[in-house]
């Protein structure tokens, strides 16, 4: 576990409060300035969990492309499809905001970074079994890679002061760690 200390110049650009997007921006600033993982990839997926007093924000290299289903259309909402992004130093960070719709802009950005595969359903390895995509019994399976060696950073951020946070590393995006204790000055 890493505790945040010291007085780096970039820390002055962190905002103490705002909405979830400000908290995400703070994490990205920290990630760019402190993590060697930033140099290893050009596309990063962000996962967000909102708890009572803290945000839990994970950042890791995007192992897979986005494989949209037919229901993932402009204007639709899908908890799995990314619909928000930030580009920093030429690198893409994307995530899902369940309140937001999928836009042409996010499709264009994902395409520009070759982070989306819009025609994966047409490949011969798919076995549709005459069940249409979008049916509750989805049979189309995208060619996903599970990388057990994937590394990333999980940020635990006080909602009442975004400059109070701790971070831990993770070896796989699905591995959960015990939440560090934060003194959030409630």
DSSP letter assigned to residue 9: G
| Domain-wise residue ranges, the chain | 1-63+148-181, 64-144
Radius of gyration of the chain (CA): 18
Helical spans, DSSP H, in the chain: 20-34, 37-40, 104-112
Q: What is the pLDDT along the chain (186 residues), one digit of tens a residue?
A: 444 555 678 888 888 899 999 999 999 999 999 999 899 899 999 999 998 899 999 999 998 899 887 778 899 998 889 999 999 999 999 999 999 999 999 999 999 999 999 887 665 555 555 555 555 554 566 666 676 667 889 999 999 999 999 998 875 544 556 678 888 876
Residues 59/9, Cβ–Cβ less than 8 Å? no
Q: Which residues face 154 on adjacent strands?
A: 58, 168
**In angstroms, rounded to a whole number, what is the distance separating the alpha carbons of residues 91 and 70?**
28
pTM: 0.82
Q: Give Cα separations from 86 to 18, 53, 62, 90, 135 (angstroms).
A: 17, 25, 14, 10, 32
Question: If you write DSSP's letter for every residue of 93-130 in order, what string do you get?
Answer: EEE--TTSPP-HHHHHHHHHTT-B-TTGGGSTT---TT
Here the tokens at position 12 are: 């002055």
Nearest one of 48, 124, 44 to 80, comparing CA atoms? 48
* Strand-strand pairing, 91-95 and 43-50: parallel
């Amino acid at each position: 576990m890493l505790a945040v200390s010291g007085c780096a110049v970039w820390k002055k650009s962190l905002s103490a409060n705002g909405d979830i997007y400000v908290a995400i921006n703070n994490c990205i600033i920290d990630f760019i300035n402190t993590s060697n993982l930033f140099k290893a990839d050009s596309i990063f997926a962000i996962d967000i969990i909102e708890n009572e007093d803290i945000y839990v924000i994970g950042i890791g290299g995007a192992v897979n492309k986005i494989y949209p289903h037919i229901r993932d259309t402009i204007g639709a909402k899908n908890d799995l499809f990314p619909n928000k992004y930030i580009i920093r130093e030429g690198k893409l960070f994307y995530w899902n905001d369940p309140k937001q719709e999928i836009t042409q802009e996010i499709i264009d950005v994902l395409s520009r970074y070759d982070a989306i595969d819009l025609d994966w359903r047409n490949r011969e390895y798919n076995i549709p079994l005459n069940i249409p995509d979008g049916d509750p019994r989805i049979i189309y399976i995208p060619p996903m890679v599970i990388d057990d060696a994937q590394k990333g950073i999980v940020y635990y951020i006080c909602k009442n002061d975004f400059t109070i946070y701790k971070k831990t590393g993770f070896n796989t995006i699905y591995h959960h760690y015990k939440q560090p204790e934060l003194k959030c000055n409630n």
